[in-house]
A = this chain, B = another copy of it.
Amino acid sequence: MLPFSNIAIIGLGLIGSSIAHSVRASMAGARITGFDADPTVRARVIELGFCDDVSDSAGAAVTDADLVMLCVPVGAMAAIAAEIADDLPADAIVSDVGSSKGSVMEVLSKTLPSARIIPAHPVAGTEHSGPDAGFATLFHDRWCILTPPDDALEGDVEQVKAFWEKMGANIEIMDAKHHDLVLAVTSHLPHLIAYTIVGTASDLEDVTRSEVIKYSAGGFRDFTRIAASDPTMWRDVFMSNKDAVLEMLQRFSEDLTALQRAIRWDKGDELFDLFTKTRAIRRRIIEEGQDDAAPDFGRSHE
């Protein structure tokens, strides 16, 4: 039994295309209709062939759907919801993959007041973007968080859960507000900091950009990966989860100031204690299968 048989994927970047590949791999028989606002992306998707059909409008893509997956940047949700409003079948479930959930739910429920909305956030990705970046195993052993509204039908939640489980994900159900706080620290703050330090390093007057690149293996290059993520997507995340991001940033800044003082006043013990504690977190992430145990992320050293 397939959880859905007619899936419309709106937005065919890394996540949208990965869902398509993953549906193909795990839900044979399900039909995939794709749409992307960018005509060059649509043309490329036709070449790549991972959708059964590529529509020329968002409305046309959803007319026969029992699941509509919105895979656009969160700042584009309102516009795309308005575009599909007239064509959305009454019994279709609308879901999304946005990285912030409170604001997305607010926008979708306003624009599609009678729709059955079950927001979702697969915590998975790479730094690459676009329809060529997707692959079927992206969600394997990753967590997908559902944030259903209080009045969601239990059957709808179960169906969306089954859909993600088929793609290899583990499911957690969470309040949207709590989701936004948790992801502010595990995802949004790390991206903000990585973008910042890469910016700082490339704008120094006494260290050249070429030196920064040459000696990046000392640690810096680890930050450049997530600072290469999609600019539109991330701009929207920070705009839409502003309160939680600013709150976490405040905590981080306080802790950084404390370390700065410890360095200034030669308090080596304080540094040593923190540096010992942080090792344990890494160990648990590896134990729980959320990162590679191989040193250096498993990068090849020839």
Contacts and interface: CB of A to CB of B under 8 A. Distances in A.
A272 B233 CA distance: 9
Given A181-B207, A207-B181, A264 B276 contact: no
Nearest to A248: B200
Contacts of A255: 196, 199-200, 203
A225 B228 contact: no
B296 A127 contact: yes
Given A215-B186, A291-B216, A281 B181 contact: no
A295 to B, nearest CB: 4
B196 A259 contact: yes
B228 A282 contact: yes
Contacts of A196: 252, 255-256, 259
Interface stretch (A63-71, A86-94, A105-113, A137-145): A137-145
B295 A215 contact: no
Contact of A226 (B195, B222, B234): B222
A52 B175 CA distance: 61
A220 B260 contact: no
A43 interface: no
Given A234-B275, A251-B204, A252-B196, A215 B190 contact: no
A218 interface: yes
A281 B172 contact: no
Interface in A195-237: 195-204, 206-207, 209, 211-229, 231-232, 234-236
B260 A209 contact: no
Copies of this chain in the oligomer: 2
A186 B212 contact: yes
A252 to B, nearest CB: 5
Contacts of A40: none
B222 A281 contact: no
A226 to B, nearest CB: 5
Nearest to A271: B235
Interface in A79-133: 99, 123-128, 133
A224 to B, nearest CB: 4
A213 B252 contact: no
Given A189-B200, A204-B251, A217-B290, 17 more contacts: A127-B296, A141-B302, A185-B201, A186-B212, A194-B219, A195-B275, A200-B252, A212-B281, A213-B281, A225-B291, A235-B268, A236-B268, A239-B268, A246-B260, A253-B253, A297-B299, A298-B299
